Amino acid sequence: MSETITLEVLRYRPETDSEPHFQRYTVPYRDDWVVLDALNHIKDNLDATLSYRWSCHMAVCGSCGMTINNEPKLSCHTFLRDYRGGVIRVEPLDHFPIERDLVIVMDSFMEKLSGVKPWLIPKQEKPLSDGEYLQSPAELNVFHQYTQCINCVLCYAACPQVGLNEDFVGPAALALAHRYNLDSRDGGKGARADVVASNEGIWECTFVGACSQVCPKQVDPAAAIQQTKISASVDWLKDLLTPGAHR
Amino acid sequence: MDVIEIDVAIVGAGGAGLRAAIAVAEADPTLTQALISKVYPMRSHTVAAEGGAAGVIKDNDSLDNHFHDTVSGGDWLCDQDAVELFVNTAPLELLQLEHWGCPWSREANGKVAVRPFGGMKIERTWYAADKTGFHILHTLFQTSLKYPSIKRFDEYYSTDLIVEDGRCTGVIGIEMRSGRMVAFRARAVVIATGGAGRIFPFTTNGAIKTGDGMAMAYRAGVPLKDMEFMQYHPTGLPGTGILITEGSRGEGGILVNKDGYRYLQDYNLGPPDPWPRKKAMELGPRDRLSQAFWHEQQKGRTIKTPHGDVVHLDIRQLGEKMINERLPMVRELAKAYVGVDPVHELIPVRPVVHYTMGGIHTDIDTATSLPGLFAAGECACVSINGANRLGSNSLAEIVVFGARAGRSAAAFAKAHPKPAAAAKAAEAAQANLRELFAREGGSDTVSSLRKAMNDTMESGAGIYRSEDTLRQTCGVLADLRARYRKIQLQDRSNVFNTDLIQTLELGCMLDVAEAMAHSALERKESRGSHQRLEYPKRDDASYLKHSLARYRDAGPPSISYLDVVITKSPPAERVYGGAAT
Amino acid sequence: MSRRPYVRKIERNWWLQHPRYVAYMIRELTSLFVGLYCALLAIGLVRLAQGHAAWDGFVAAFSSPPGVVFQWLCLVFAIYHSVTWFALTPKAMPLMVKGEPVPGKLIVGAHYVAWAAVSAVVLMAAGV
Ligand SMILES: Cc1cc2nc3c(=O)[nH]c(=O)nc-3n(C[C@H](O)[C@H](O)[C@H](O)COP(=O)(O)OP(=O)(O)OC[C@H]3O[C@@H](n4cnc5c(N)ncnc54)[C@H](O)[C@@H]3O)c2cc1C
Ligand code: SF4
Ligand code: FES
């Protein structure tokens, strides 16, 4: 018989289960398979009732985040070969309610994301007929890393502060605010400050650093938050010395 | 069934749907809207686009150049009025994205940078490293958040259009997390549901690209146009089908066969040097490159792997710094999924199903033949892509025609009264679903039918097709559709029932596949991506026409034809390689 | 309504469930000791101001075996705290020079250099 590998998947079907429980599946082992391929194998051949989200299978759409052996991961970018000979435990991401099986409820994240006003608030409006806002490669480089977030929410699952305070705006949303604040075309820092620089914003962060460790896109939200803390403190001081002048 | 009254309903929140929603909000913020999507907007497959978006901005270029590249790239099956509108508007729409914060890559002087792309005579492809679609989608999504009138219905799966008295007056959707059915009663509806690559087994398309919107319109009596034209991208990773962007060739990458030979020079695309050179060799159009692979394979000059035959893409000469700067995702993907670091090694690639040129037949204003129904993006066919889309034209298309669809729908909604209650359509949709839930005794599974469909489409309607293979495929599809009607759900729950969603998606794919296969069978010529072994030549006398497939309840679709709009570029020979430059 | 989202409770020992949380908790704990040591130094200053006798008592307490153990503990924790903190500085204070990010190692290294310099100055002032 060819090689197999066992997956232990957390199941929860609200219409029949009172609480989640693990279910075991044995699937063929393939060197180039990712955990998502194994789940698709289960769905297509063993158990069509298993529910999970996925789409791109190339680590860019952000749908397929799961807890894999106690680590938040993209299941389309987590290879079976790294677990060969063991059991793979697959659970929904932490710190979110479970809708069903591996599907989490994302509402809170979507609200937090829009809460930080993640759109360009231009320093100076200009009509399209005047062409593009000039931006040098160096200016682009300043915020480029923070544009890479795919909203996979692995960082929310990793952050203990998110677990302890459900109102914490959280890593990805704060990193996105920072992305716009750093954009040479943007003048919206003041408008974002009441959410970003609030108690539920950057000041809820205790610099655990877990978000940046699990981020599959090297966004480094922890860095974004610490930088925002420094800049918010400087703004606060400036405001104290010259009220209202710096905005 | 719950009823939601709305002015404009938009199905699909990818690049086209989001752009349409913003256009509606800007046209009139008092119009209410529902933006309905089966996945969260940022999961839409626009996110996967890598290379870039075409629009003329540089002084060495002209709108006319873009026009001619597009028309000849499409083997003259493009409607030239639509192409003209498209090339004129693309720069403005891309600029609009810049004003909304899209992090376009820049030149040293701060202006937007452009790169060369296949089939384009002059470099005019705007890019954001090699994550252009990702950045366009996130920019649009984030921008859409600032318009209060855009009300999103995330993870609602739309099943049917509501049609009354010859007018489209809404859509039916299922809220996936509860299983609740909702009727969106709308004055105007926009479909922006993307392509249908998942009909084929080996594709760059994500799981969600199942042609749902095409099927909804088709079943409601709107014809699907030019469905026989399916684009194969020449460079997909074996196994997964993950795309290696054409940008890698635009930056100077080359394709070699098992002897290390740049085989494209044998297929009217050479000479190989000097390189890189536009519209030649590796920067020829996709249809030609994929067809060349097929011939190399026939000659036994490809490389065998467990995931099928491949050729090699070599970007080593770009050097590590350039690769990291311009093609970071290519490096990341190749390392992760085929274990190859392109800085030092050759990337194995093979042609992969990529883009649906055909789609819901619309006019230049995105209106379909059904009043009140508009369509834009990959699901639609305004005919700017003809028989072969040029790379980087479709990201431009989704914003140009997405915006246009939004404006058209807004105008239509304002000019037409609120529709009367559609109890009948809602009841019918609900009855269908009940029947599906209640069905017993079926022996086929979704996955087995889907696999059979995938296989027959690849073997019968792939890069090269023939009368025999197509007839066989049509037969298999008819059988699969009959079996589909008896398929039984394995999961009968309400909450996030993905077995149900996959079943509905399969139904859509089967209908669309049938339209493709029959359109292909009827077109007895070779043009662009449609290559018939027994009719190797283009036949303008008989087939300089769009095909229109119309749904019939029982039996295969009916196929008819429509003239192509030709304004200033009479059909001519497509030339690439030395002769083109 | 068939929805019934399941909320998992955060357990009290959540921080034991992953090595990186344990490391974080230790870092938090060390800051307590660093703070305590600072407070002791402040008390020492007050004692000094109160005259010779008070100061001698303070020094005696500091040199007693428990006092020494406590100071060793504080030193170890202070070093752990500084090392982990320095390791994080490139994130909090990234530098750009001519559009290129300064490598993290350089930033961390600069902190160690500064640390050594300050320590040397203090030791010199103390006349060691
Ligand atoms: C890997 C890859 C790379 C590409 N690279 C480029 C490139 O470099 N340049 C270029 O120009 N083009 C490129 N393309 C093509 C281009 O990305 C697509 O054609 C374009 O993004 C399609 O956008 P869309 O808005 O029409 O559809 P999508 O982005 O696919 O969005 C479809 C939307 O419809 C929704 N939907 C679908 N069905 C339903 C339903 N039943 N109910 C509710 N909602 C539904 C989905 O949820 C989604 O929101 C690439 C394509 C791929 C696959
Ligand atoms: S910051 Fe990283 S981990 Fe968090 S959502 Fe974005 S991509 Fe995912
Ligand atoms: S499926 Fe898209 S990120 Fe994994």
Same domain, yes or no, for A96 and A167? no
Same domain, yes or no, for C25 and C88? yes
Distance B580 CA to ligand 3 centre (A): 40
Same domain, yes or no, for C33 and C86? yes
Active site includes B307?
Answer: no
Q: How confident is the model at residue C106 (pLDDT cuts 50, 70, 90)?
A: confident
Cβ neighbours around C35 below 10 Å, total: 11
The verdict on the CB of residue A150 being under 6 Å from ligand 2 is yes
Distance B360 CA to ligand 1 centre (A): 15
More confident site: B403 or C61: B403
Interface check for B495 against chain A (CB to CB < 8 A): the answer is: yes
* Ligand with an atom nearest the CA of residue A63: 3
Same domain, yes or no, for C75 and C21? yes
Lowest mean pLDDT, pick from B221-225, B384-388, B481-485, C34-38: C34-38
- For residue C126, what are the contacts with CB-CB under 8 A and spacing of at least 6? none
Asked if residue C10 is part of any domain, the answer here is no
Same domain, yes or no, for A172 and A88? no
Residue at a domain's end among A104, A132, A164: A104
B247 pLDDT exceeds 90? Answer: no
User: What one-character-per-residue DSSP string does B313-365 give?
Assistant: EE-GGGHHHHHHHH-HHHHHHHHHHH---TTTSPEEEEEEEEEE--EEE--TT
Same domain, yes or no, for A188 and A224? yes
Residue at a domain's end among A104, A132, A147: A104
A106–B206: do the CB atoms touch at under 8 Å?
A: no
Active site includes B249?
Answer: yes
Q: How confident is the model at residue B365 (pLDDT cuts 50, 70, 90)?
A: very high
C91–A97: do the CB atoms touch at under 8 Å?
A: no
Same domain, yes or no, for A126 and A216? yes
Residues of chain B with C-beta less than 8 angstroms from the C-beta of A44: 445-447
C43 with C58: CB under 8 angstroms?
Answer: yes
More confident site: B218 or C124: B218
Q: Report d(CA B191, CA B217) in Å as an integer.
A: 8
Q: How confident is the model at residue C86 (pLDDT cuts 50, 70, 90)?
A: confident
For residue B435, give the amino acid letter: E
Q: How confident is the model at residue C32 (pLDDT cuts 50, 70, 90)?
A: confident
B267 with B102: CB under 8 angstroms?
Answer: no
Q: How confident is the model at residue B36 (pLDDT cuts 50, 70, 90)?
A: very high
Same domain, yes or no, for A135 and A232? yes
Q: How confident is the model at residue B177 (pLDDT cuts 50, 70, 90)?
A: very high
Interface check for A226 against chain C (CB to CB < 8 A): the answer is: yes
Asked if residue A160 is part of any domain, the answer here is yes
Among chain C residues, the shortest Cα distance to A214 is held by C20
Lowest mean pLDDT, pick from A107-116, B3-12, B274-283: B274-283
Interface check for A137 against chain C (CB to CB < 8 A): the answer is: yes
Same domain, yes or no, for C25 and C74? yes
Lowest mean pLDDT, pick from B125-129, B274-278, B304-308: B274-278
Interface check for B276 against chain C (CB to CB < 8 A): the answer is: no
φ, ψ for residue B301 (rounded to 5)? -105, 15
Same domain, yes or no, for A91 and A129? no
Q: Cα torsion at B283, B287, B289, B294 (round to 10°)?
A: 180
B421 pLDDT exceeds 80? Answer: no
CATH classification of B234-351, choosing from 3.50.50.60, 3.40.50.300, 3.30.70.2860, 3.90.700.10?
3.90.700.10
Same domain, yes or no, for C29 and C82? yes
Asked if residue A97 is part of any domain, the answer here is yes
- For residue A212, what are the contacts with CB-CB under 8 A and spacing of at least 6? A155, A171, A219, A220, A221, A222, A223, C91
C90 pLDDT exceeds 80? Answer: no
Same domain, yes or no, for A120 and A233? yes
B42 with B141: CB under 8 angstroms?
Answer: yes
Interface test with C, best of B105, B495, B497 (most C CBs within 10 A): B495
Interface check for B47 against chain A (CB to CB < 8 A): the answer is: yes
Task: Give C3 to chain A, closest Cα distance, Å.
Answer: 7
For residue B237, give the amino acid letter: L
Same domain, yes or no, for C55 and C24? yes
The verdict on the CB of residue A222 being under 6 Å from ligand 2 is no
Asked if residue A94 is part of any domain, the answer here is yes
B177–C3: do the CB atoms touch at under 8 Å?
A: yes
| Residue A15 structure tokens | 């219409």
Interface test with A, best of C4, C7, C102 (most A CBs within 10 A): C4
Secondary structure of residue B164 in the 3-state scheme: strand
Same domain, yes or no, for A120 and A213? yes
Q: CA separation (Å) from B233 to A73, B126, B441? A: 30, 20, 41
B578 pLDDT exceeds 90? Answer: no
Q: Report d(CA A45, CA A49) in Å as an integer.
A: 11
Domain membership of residue A124 as a residue range:
107-241
CATH code for the domain of C34: 1.20.1300.10
Give residues (CB < 6 A) around ligand 1. B 11-17, 36-39, 44-46, 48-53, 132-133, 157-158, 192-195, 204-205, 208-209, 212-213, 243, 245, 355, 377-379, 391-395, 398
Overall number of domains in chain A? 2
Residues of chain B with C-beta less than 8 angstroms from the C-beta of A119: 100-101, 142-143, 145-146
C3–B493: do the CB atoms touch at under 8 Å?
A: no
- What residues does A88 pair with on adjacent strands? A7
Tens of pLDDT, residue by residue over B396-415, are 999 999 999 999 999 999 99
B492 pLDDT exceeds 90? Answer: yes
The verdict on the CB of residue A154 being under 6 Å from ligand 2 is yes
Among B124, B138, B233, B326, the active-site one is B233
Task: Give A129 to chain B, closest Cα distance, Å.
Answer: 8
φ, ψ for residue B354 (rounded to 5)? -135, -45
Asked if residue C117 is part of any domain, the answer here is yes
Q: Structural domain boundaries of chain B?
A: 2-231+354-422, 234-351, 425-563
Task: Give A227 to chain C, closest Cα distance, Å.
Answer: 5
pLDDT for res B449: 98
Architecture of the domain defined by B425-563:
Up-down Bundle (1.20)
Asked if residue C5 is part of any domain, the answer here is no
Q: Buried (b) or exposed (e) across B439-473, using 16+ Cβ within 10 A?
A: eeeeeebbbebbebbbebbbebbbbbbeeebbeeb
Tens of pLDDT, residue by residue over B57-89, are 999 999 999 999 999 999 999 999 999 999 999
- Domain B2-231+354-422: which topology? FAD/NAD(P)-binding domain (3.50.50)
Lowest mean pLDDT, pick from B79-88, B461-470, C35-44: C35-44
* Ligand with an atom nearest the CA of residue A93: 2
Among chain B residues, the shortest Cα distance to A177 is held by B142
C111 pLDDT exceeds 90? Answer: no
- For residue A225, what are the contacts with CB-CB under 8 A and spacing of at least 6? A171, A174, A175, A178, A202, A205, A207
Same domain, yes or no, for C31 and C87? yes
Asked if residue A246 is part of any domain, the answer here is no
The verdict on the CB of residue A63 being under 6 Å from ligand 3 is yes
The verdict on the CB of residue A74 being under 6 Å from ligand 3 is yes
Secondary structure of residue B207 in the 3-state scheme: coil
Q: Report d(CA B109, CA A136) in Å as an integer.
A: 6
Task: Give C3 to chain B, closest Cα distance, Å.
Answer: 6
Domain membership of residue C47 as a residue range:
15-92
Residues of chain C with C-beta less than 8 angstroms from the C-beta of A99: 3, 5
Mean pLDDT of C22-30: 85
Among B19, B185, B249, B450, the active-site one is B249
Lowest mean pLDDT, pick from B31-35, B123-127, C112-116: C112-116
Considering only residues 349 to 408 of chain B, which have any Cβ-Cβ distance to chain A shorter than 8 Å? Answer: none
Asked if residue A128 is part of any domain, the answer here is yes
Say what angle helices C65-92 and C19-49 make with each other, to 10 degrees.
120
Q: Cα torsion at C65, C66, C71, C75 (round to 10°)?
A: 100
Task: Give C10 to chain B, closest Cα distance, Å.
Answer: 24
| Residue B337 structure tokens | 């999924």
B495–C2: do the CB atoms touch at under 8 Å?
A: yes
Q: Report d(CA B408, CA B375) in Å as an integer.
A: 10
Gyration radius from chain C CA atoms: 22
A213–C20: do the CB atoms touch at under 8 Å?
A: yes
Same domain, yes or no, for A161 and A89? no
Residue at a domain's end among A104, A133, A162: A104
Asked if residue A157 is part of any domain, the answer here is yes
Closest residue to atom 1 of ligand 2, CA basis = A172
User: What one-character-per-residue DSSP string does A81-94 give?
Assistant: GGGTTSEEEEEPPT
- For chain A, list residues with pLDDT below 70: 1, 244-247
Same domain, yes or no, for A76 and A163? no
CATH code for the domain of A143: 1.10.1060.10
Same domain, yes or no, for C103 and C128? yes
Asked if residue C49 is part of any domain, the answer here is yes
Q: How confident is the model at residue B32 (pLDDT cuts 50, 70, 90)?
A: very high
Distance B114 CA to ligand 1 centre (A): 22
Overall number of domains in chain C? 2
Same domain, yes or no, for C118 and C60? no
Interface check for A110 against chain C (CB to CB < 8 A): the answer is: no
